[in-house]
Structure 1
């Protein structure tokens, strides 16, 4: 008997398979198609012949932990302990899974804000806890009245995602003030802050859980080198949490993977000496602006994009089809693969919106726009 009977093939797999079948331009799955920084590939080539191929310590390669301490201090003016408060994980997904498995018990509740990324729910169900899905407002900002109504003494965890996938929305100072008030009302509430796109924000600087000292003792942050350095296939991220929570997360982590790929940890540790992570926003903002300019004469209505490398668009002016049907027709008739936003909602809410990934080279984006002009 299946533990996850309702979970089938993910929409990302379905759309990528359709893109291959119909030779469509794939703007569905969130991975870049341009080269990795040569400085990083040169480091990997050098390391391949060195003695870096055995297990690292369970919590991570010590020099990399120290670099994360420096990065967190530079980015957020927060000091964390490399030994007690940082864990290198096999991608952000493993960090999220290990955190939920470690901290949530059967019959407790976890608030998920919809539309939401699909990796949050499964680990909750696997421990017989209850996911509570709360919809964001129509403009994808948090609906604090709904969140407060959904929170009770059984609520162990609230998962926040900022910058937000799939919508590119970012949290404001006021959102964090409301979150702080919620934790005062419910002192046992723990926050899981998915910030894998933290270095990809545009006009407004990223407001992070790391900026909120009142929340540090009850917050776990999730970061991704894969997203930050466009090396998604490396599957390497990290978790920052206070020691009393991190102890429990490490217990789960050691039996999931024990330690993460050694050469990738050493390579990133060296790379952090030469890369400027805070320039990533400018790089992706140029991509966003280029893509939005290409699409401005289409019939699509582009929604605001404040962060991530995703652009949401409404097709309500074009069709009243269900978004899944529209995206499939977009592949078969126009040769462009996207993701329907309804698949990120537990209730399947269909606002006639689709998600594009613009982390692609200019040629790919131009060719896609050319096809979308025919809509």
Structure 2
């Protein structure tokens, strides 16, 4: 980071932008930490806690750089605070990587977390002249890790959440570009103009990124696959066509269960005088989600009634109707005709558990 002389208007502008980055980081980090704390079931491996830690690390980074750039301009304090800024941010990144690698389905073997610890060691032992190398390296690791997370999020979300993630990605990329521009090599080779632009991009990116995270309440739906329990496809009249288990359950009579679900739905339709059928029913710790077609009803038992799960169920129902609609209309109990349904389940729900077609 450049060392500015006192009394310079450029210095004051840079100080304002750095302070803004630190202020908004601590504000966003505190809000995300509060959102995590008030949740009924708090977990250490939680995406909101991970992002809160990331923003609090940005506070340490920006604050340390403010001291080293504007106040502690003599050695060894200047180098010490510069290193402290790097270590604060990398420690936050380590916590973020640890949580994200536990959430994502990729077999990374905590490579990003270990890479973060390695960069902390490099920051401690490297001289000041090589800190830019550490910064460029950890920035690359961070870009790859965050983009893996955001890519996974976009592929496994739908509706409003997917739109929010797109805005979050745009804000993150803007902030990342700003972080690269607000660096010593850019200041030395291109002057103060690009450097100040980078600081402005960083402030805008941090703010947009943080607001996007705060006002995306369905961000918790990223674990939607872990909420799936059982899937039933029930023909009109309560006849079970297809059944799939996402988790191992005690042995139950699937046909009797299907008939019972169909009966309950018919009862509520009679009471409410509705022709559309049920959508979501809560029973104890489970939610029962419904999607309807012309020839059958899809019933998904889940632990949480996430919007993304209902969207996936509607997608599955439409595709199943396209593939097997005519067969279901003339269904007489031949199960082989639904053998490819497991592949459809795998494609939409990403399930690796056993599935079965059942009818008696």
User: TM-score range, shorter-chain basis?
Assistant: under 0.3
Taking structure 2 as the reference length, the TM-score comes to: 0.27
Q: Which structure shows the higher strand fraction?
A: 1
Using the size of structure 1 for normalisation, the TM-score is 0.26
Which structure is higher in helix share? 2
Greater Rg over alpha carbons, structure: 2
Higher relative contact order (CA 8 A, sep 6+): 1
